Amino acid sequence: VKTMMISLPSFPAAFVRGGGGSREIVLRSSETDIGFVSSSSRVPLSSRCRLSLVCLRRRGEGERGSAPSLRRRRGRITSFAVNAGTTPKSTTFDANDRYARTANPFYEANCERYVEKILVKVDENVMMKMKKNSEDGVLSRNDGSATTVAANGALPGGGDGGGDNTTPLKEERWEKIHLSTENERTKGSMDVSVVKLSDAAFRVKVKLDCPSILNEQDALMHWGMIGQEDEDWKSPKHFVRSVPPNGREPDAQSEESKFLNGRDCFEHVFEFTNGYRGERMAMLIRSEDCETWLRDEGRRSHAILDFGRMAVDARGGGSQQRVAAAPAPNPVAPPPPPQRQEEDHHHRHREEDNNSHEQQQQQHNHNHNQQQSTNSNNGERVFAAVSNWVGDDVELSNNRKDRSSRDRNRWDTSNLPSFAAALVSNDQSASSWRQKLQSVEKLLCENDGNDMEDALAYSTIYLFWISVGAISCVEDGTHYRPNHHAGSAERMFGKIESIEGTDNMSTLAAIRRLHPRLPAFTAEFTQSVPLTRIRDIAHGKGDEHGKCREVRQEIKHTIQNKLHRCAGPEDLVASEKMLQKLTAPGTDYPKAFVDEFEIFYRELKEFFNASGVAERLEKLANQDGGSKSADAANAFLRAKANADDQNASLKSLLETLRLLHESRTEIVRSLESGNIQDMSARQQWRLAEISLEDYAFVLLSRCSNLLGAESEPPKQNYTSEEVSECLNALAVSFDTLYLSSKSEEMQRVAEDARKLAGESASFLGSNDGGLRVNAIAERAKRAAENFCDVLENLFTNRAHQLGPALGIDNYAVDIFTEGQIRASVVFQSAKLAGALSRASRNITGAQGWDCVVQSSEGDIVYPLRRVERLDPNYFRENITEPCILLCDSADGDEEVSTMGPNVMGIILSHALPHLSHLALRARQSAVPLVAVEDGALTETIRSFEGKNVLLRSKPGDVKIELTDAPVSGGASSSAPAVSTASATASTAATISIAADTSYANDPLSFAKLSESALDFAVSVAGSKSAFCAKLEKLSSDSHSSPFAFSAPTGVAIPFGAMEVAAEAAGKTQYLQERLQILDSNVPEVDLEAARRELFALVENELRPSQEVYQKVLAGMGASANSKAFVRSSANVEDLAGMSAAGLYDSIPNVDLQSYDQFALAVSKVWASLYTARAVASRKAARVSQKDAKMCALVQVALKPECSFVLHTKHPLTESDQDMYAEMALGLGETLASGNVRGTPWRFDIAKATKEVTVKTFSSFGEMYIADDSNSDSSALQMKRVFCDDGNHWLTTDEERRNDVVGAKLGGLGIYLESTLGNVPQDVEGCLLSDGTLCVVQARPQP
């Protein structure tokens, strides 16, 4: 046996003993130690060498063939290999006719598979010797021979060590790969050269040609390794010795490397760790801003560099040779990397892993399972504490090594909120985990509740970073056993429990993420000397023959003593490393000793609350046998045993999820009922419930994969059975979210999805079924987005405040919230909702975007500008050229005419009612408007920003794409001038903006107004008041007709009443001066100042008189005791060509028995004449501000079951043979403003037949109602409450829907159109719970 010495200053101690720079490397067999002892022969071939133990197989069983099936055999490690530099040298020691192949001894691995290798740095002495020998031209080999170094640094045999080959390559072979984006709008190409330098090394050169990227920014190669047959990306670091410098690792499966040398060249030598075995390189090319991704145009997927096919063998003198690749066992999935949940920018370009590795990685990315050690589905153990540890290295040592350095952290309290500042300040003086816990305890438990959400959120972030080592914990020089930590956790848990009954989603989200960060305080951990088993192990328990003396010393100094004097999360990491060492392949530690350490390890996980869901539930169920919680837990565990099989069916997974939810429900019920008296038991049951939610994430991920929710290209064609299964999976995901958030909307989505899943296959495959599926998917996506917003608002800003103050790595800070989202069940819910949206579109033929206002000019082409909101002030100052706007969010109440002449089209990133105020104003301004209803489409459109875009907006034919076509004509015309309502065969009088103020002190009832001529009513009270009075008269006459309807009574406070109030307050001159400024050509700042002063005057100082108030009460008659709406009726609204829909205010919920409420409501309506939007709108329409007058219209408030807006001429198709209606539950504000996200019920109604065609089912999850709580804050207010659209008869009862919407509402629309001048009407009204149709107003259709 030849000996050699490798200096291993940091090599894991499992195979090293001795100290200093020279250590003895020990291999253990069943009988004796085979030692590699010190000698003068070192291994100076490289600054890095690889050391790996091996798995066994019989000699001759195909050295280059597939590995045979093997069993792990303790004590039969028979070979040892050292690969140094680029010249692998293997020294083999045979025993029992066996030899070895490389495997990683430091991960519990299946010996049939390869795992990643360990890199070991050689000490400085070797480096110096290597440098000296290199200068002499000789490298010393381990067998005493010498290798001559060529002048260019190359090694014989083809290894170049990163330099050129000794034999010059006469000709490189270049291969062109054509590239394009997914939409094929951006194209390019790359030339690739691959040269084989040795059996394990290839030099790759890439020249990129893509001016559209390179002319503006850098390009990056996004790449990973794939097998000979599969295309699942795997991290290059598990295959090659080095990756290009100055890159980054965006996720666990890939690397990103920049193009250099003028931004278009890439070159690197890829040296395969275990020799080349047919691996291929998969890549995408992206722009630096991630907006442009190029793929192989021919494959329509990632490009592939096949080294075996493409390489030219440098050793063959330049001749091209196919590189032989030896088949090898498939590499096992490496243990999950430290938590990294960065957005996977390239997920659209590759297929997600569908094997066990994905579930493994996702589970360990989950923040609540950070430290859980489990067995993966292929039997390999995963040590999550080690995998997720980002702190200083935790070393196993046979002597005490105090860790006192906290260099990684800093403490800067400047500009921090009070709680965060206290946390940072306390951390500076709190070096140990115990001190940090007690610091958080003090801040939490002494909190008076005013800023509890702040305290919970900051504490969660802080303790999370501690748990993964980002914030260092070091010994504080004292001796406190873990019971002190447990006591602190117990007091914090009590405080948290006192506020856990809240229904505030943010508070609950913080609490659920804080629970797992606290240690356990069950009796075994609060006793004076907890965790004593480790002492017995260190003293020799289980080591009958003394074979573990050395490792026991390491246990004593690294774990036992440290744990008992100053416990911290690093102790769990140390224990996992020790367990890795004790159970590594080929080790022969006594089974009794290893078993004892396994038991201790489980106990330690319990203390750190890092146990797996099965471990935790089994223990609790045994302790609490016979309870409903225990029975439900056992039922779940039985199902879990089947679901853990990777071949488990979707049905099995869904059944397991159902039982999981039942188990959680029982646990929550027990916790909330107070049946569990012991606080420590409540903590364990709460953590079990949280662990169940964590496991639901894993199961839902597998369901998503089986359903094709993340396939590439996205799956479109779903069978009815698959739609039903997807709905069931969505239902259980929202069941899970409901228990965690107490959100009523989550519960409703779950119930509606489950109910729809039970419909017949024929219905789910029908158009109505597809529309129902889409409504559920929309609600689910919106609920998921809202929950994500909760987490964003809870953590993002706080993490960015706390992280830099503590010196946390910027990357860890940036991804903190994203990690919370991607590790949450909501992430899987969104995937399932997206799959249902695609299934719905496939069934109904919908596009994923919606024409709200069609273009009157056909296709238009303009540059795309992205804006956050529709802000007229910003547009006037910043948008100086015609463009199409992509708007992230709109309230639905914006005024299009005030946005300037350069807004040629609007693309909205969410759904919008077609008859909302914004839609009506866009239609009147002839600005095409498209609402995008699919997030993936929105992301694609965002990538078009700054480029010319073609926009086609037609009903059923929307197109948004990049184009090289020239920009369309000039800026849009300004808003149309105010016109009058007129129609052929009509007796309606001409309407002007003139106003008669002579009746200012005489409120007029609807009865009086309806008795007068229409032009008189319009001149004194406005068009809205006049037509409302006429509607009341028509409703009285319609009771015996087929078109019976009701209209609320009311009183109009005529034009001039505001001016009378100004005169009474001595403010007439002040009012007139400001109005004169608004009509003047003065700087914008002066105009805005005058407008603000005018608005404040009217709202705060002007009030109708008591005389007017009494006349209003008299005019209302018996209705004076009811609540009322005070609405606007200006002389500049409800006109043909200038509807001003929603421009002026309506005040709800006014108690007419209160003068103060009445007067304030009237003043608010008067003041709405001078909002910024109103003034700008009149200015755009060239209407003088002083000519604008306001009448306040007082109407009885209705309590509708649902509200509607009806256009008697179809606004999208412009067909006068069809009507169009939108309906929503509650008050009409849901439809009019667009403040509530979602789509309403949409119906086409044929005038001739009253036939109803459903266009969409409502997906609103909320509705507006009057706030009748009678509190001071409820006066003049509406409130949003949850609603159940999915179970309403408009959704579920086709016969009733056709009767009410077609026969009654359709018939009423025809009647009103013919009665009100034979012009198309915009009718607003509601349906009462008794079936009565009420019309609130009608006006000429814009």
Q: Which residues are catalytic?
A: 917
Task: Enumerate residues 6+ apart whose C-beta is below 8 A from 845.
Answer: none
Q: At what angle do helices 744-757 and 720-741 cross, to 10 degrees?
A: 160
Contact 1290, 1187 (CB under 8 A): no
Among left, alpha and beta (phi > 0; psi -120 to 50; other), residue 768 is alpha
Contact 1132, 1138 (CB under 8 A): yes
φ, ψ for residue 1014, nearest 5 deg? -60, -40
**Closest residue by Cα to residue 793 from 505, 495, 413:** 505
Q: How far apart are CA 142 and CA 923, in angstroms?
A: 84
The token pair at 1123 is 């609540």
What is the CB-side half-sphere exposure of residue 63 using CA atoms within 13 A? 5
φ, ψ for residue 148, nearest 5 deg? -80, 135
Contact 688, 620 (CB under 8 A): yes
How far, in whole angstroms, is CA 1022 from its chain's centroid? 49
The CA angle 480-481-482, to the nearest 5 degrees, is 120
φ, ψ for residue 1123, nearest 5 deg? -70, 155
Secondary structure (DSSP) of 81-145: EEEETTEEEEE---BTTEEEEEE-TTS---TTS----EEEEPPHHHHHHHHHHHHHTEEE-TTS-
The token pair at 845 is 């033929």
SS3 content of the chain, % helix, strand, coil (to 5): 40, 20, 40
In whole angstroms, how large is the CA radius of gyration of the chain?
37
Q: How far apart are CA 1337 and CA 52, in angstroms?
A: 83
**DSSP letter, residue 251:** E
Q: How far apart are CA 184 and CA 182, in angstroms?
A: 5
The token pair at 45 is 């071939």
Task: Print burial letters for 1195-1231: b (CB count within 10 Å at least 16), e (below 16).
Answer: bbbbebbbbbbbbbbbbbeeeeebbbbbbbbbbbbbb
Q: What SS3 class is residue 306?
A: coil
Q: Which residues pair with 90 in a beta bridge?
A: 81
- Do the bridges between strand 903-908 and strand 929-932 make them parallel or antiparallel, or are there none, so unpaired? parallel
The token pair at 1099 is 């709202």
Alpha helix positions (H), 674-743: 679-706, 720-741
**Which H helix or E strand runs over 959?**
strand 957-962
Cis peptide before 713 (omega within 30 of 0): yes
What is the distance in angstroms between the CA of the first residue and the CA of the last residue of the chain?
Answer: 97
The token pair at 134 is 């290199």
φ, ψ for residue 518, nearest 5 deg? -95, 140
**Closest residue by Cα to residue 712 from 226, 299, 342:** 299
Contact 660, 651 (CB under 8 A): no
**Closest residue by Cα to residue 167 from 276, 313, 324:** 313
CB-neighbour burial class of residue 1070 (10 A; exposed 0-12, middle 13-18, buried 19+): middle
